[in-house]
């Protein structure tokens, strides 16, 4: 598994804790606004064209594989004769990407103000991830991008929330799991990785609302805080305010759960 760094000049990153693991979509930007709908549509069309199935079946495969494996690609690569690299390229290419992006005001300043190392950990391909980060003006703030191509091993493709993949990725980054703080919008990823002893932050500000049959929006998503979430935030601005509490809580949690951590 390789995690090549961009050839562009990077700032020096000192060792030590914390090590921030940022998801990309619906974490560093508002993907539900335009990008997620476009990706879902492109995935469905790719499945229709490649497997010669009806739209309903294509949607069933896309959603089913995402829920089962963490990424639709893993199910498609395992059960169907598709080219994974072509799939990733086709469904993550957007000529109008700048117009589709939405993010918090002062995003680069918010991330730069956080102490420690920053890594992007995403089930998206690297080219797409770096294009989004470049448009947002934050690429230089991260020491590396761990994208879905880098998660695979000799046997199979892997993706979040695979525990073996994360252990290997952190070893390559020379980052102890005990120093990691995962900032993520997907609860199942947080739940799986909390078992490894890392600290978890659930960001909910970009999650879409589900509407009732009469069209009236339901309550805001992300209400409550599951037991595997150390901190729930609506905005990345809250990370700077809550960094100390997350770090301290994580230390106490890790010390209590060392003997019960499940190994893959």
pLDDT digits over 40-52, tens only? 999 999 999 999 9
Are residues 160 and 142 both part of a single domain? yes
pLDDT digits over 166-220, tens only? 999 999 999 999 999 999 999 999 999 999 999 999 999 998 766 555 555 555 5
**255 class by beta-carbon count within 10 Å (0-12 exposed, 13-18 middle, 19+ buried):** exposed
Split into its structural domains, the chain has a count of 2
Are residues 147 and 251 both part of a single domain? yes
First vs last Cα of the chain: how many Å apart?
18
Residue 17 has what pLDDT?
Answer: 80
CB 84 within 8 A of CB 77: yes
Are residues 79 and 139 both part of a single domain? no
d(CA 145, CA 120): 5
pLDDT digits over 150-160, tens only? 999 988 999 99
pTM score, whole prediction = 0.82
Are residues 134 and 232 both part of a single domain? yes
pLDDT digits over 7-28, tens only? 444 434 444 589 999 999 999 9
Q: Which of 79, 97, 115 is the last residue of a domain?
A: 97
């Amino acid at each position: 598994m390789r995690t090549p760094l961009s050839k562009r000049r990077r700032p020096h990153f000192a060792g030590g804790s914390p090590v921030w693991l940022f998801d990309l979509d619906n974490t560093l930007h508002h993907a539900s606004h335009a990008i997620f709908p476009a990706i879902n549509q492109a995935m469905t069309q790719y499945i229709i064209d490649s497997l010669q199935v009806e739209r309903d079946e294509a949607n069933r495969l896309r959603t089913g594989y995402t829920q089962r494996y963490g990424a639709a690609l893993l199910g498609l690569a395992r059960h169907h004769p598709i080219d994974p690299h072509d799939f990733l390229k086709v469904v993550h290419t957007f000529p109008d990407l700048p117009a589709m992006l939405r993010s918090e005001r002062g995003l680069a300043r918010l991330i730069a103000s956080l102490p420690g190392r920053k890594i992007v950990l995403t089930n998206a391909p690297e080219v797409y991830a770096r294009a989004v980060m470049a448009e947002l003006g934050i690429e230089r703030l991260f020491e590396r991008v761990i994208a879905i191509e880098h998660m695979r091993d000799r046997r199979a493709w892997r993706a979040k929330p695979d525990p073996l993949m994360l252990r290997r990725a952190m070893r390559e980054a020379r980052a102890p799991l005990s120093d990691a703080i995962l900032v993520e919008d997907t609860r199942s990823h947080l739940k799986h990785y909390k078992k490894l002893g890392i600290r978890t932050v659930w960001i909910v500000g970009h999650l879409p609302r589900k509407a009732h049959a009469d069209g009236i929006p339901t309550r805001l998503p992300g209400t409550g805080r599951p037991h595997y979430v150390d901190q729930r935030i609506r905005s990345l601005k809250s990370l700077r305010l809550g960094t100390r509490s997350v770090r301290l809580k994580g230390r106490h949690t890790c010390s209590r759960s060392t003997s019960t951590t499940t190994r893959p």
